[in-house]
Structure 1
Amino acid sequence: MMSPNRPELTTFTNWHKATISGDDGACVEVATEPGGWTAVRDSTDRQGPVLMFTPKEWSAFIDGARKGEFDQ
């Protein structure tokens, strides 16, 4: 369900990717807008689909990643 407060994609202007990803382009890029929403896109398809997360959703994802919840 989409939030009525979801920002326009144009508000995400400062995209970045992890420095460890190197220059091969096979990575995702992340941007956060002033309201706290986080957007994620494929660095090889910058005009492609974008996933958007509320601050609470992004925080839960980062917390899970740090705790190893997504490790195989």
Structure 2
Amino acid sequence: MSIQKGQKMSLMEARVRNDQVQFKVNLPEHVKQWLAEEANRNMRSQTAEVILAIKEKMGRQQQSHQTQNGSVTA
């Protein structure tokens, strides 16, 4: 699949490419600065830092739901 300059990919085309979707996020300046510093400190891209933060949040949320449902085993 070849995208010419100025062309936009449809959502379906974006998903076909590595099962990833691109979207724009507006952040407060201080959050963007923190993200840049964390990414630099951890030697990751800012994208990788955002993905890690979201996955960690997803894991905490899943654990919380399991605990509420009494399905956590020690």
Q: TM-score, normalised by structure 1?
A: 0.28
Larger radius of gyration between Structure 1 and Structure 2: 2
- Which one has a larger percent strand, Structure 1 or Structure 2? 1
The structure whose RCO (Cα within 8 Å, separation 6+) is larger is: 1
Q: TM-score, normalised by structure 2?
A: 0.27
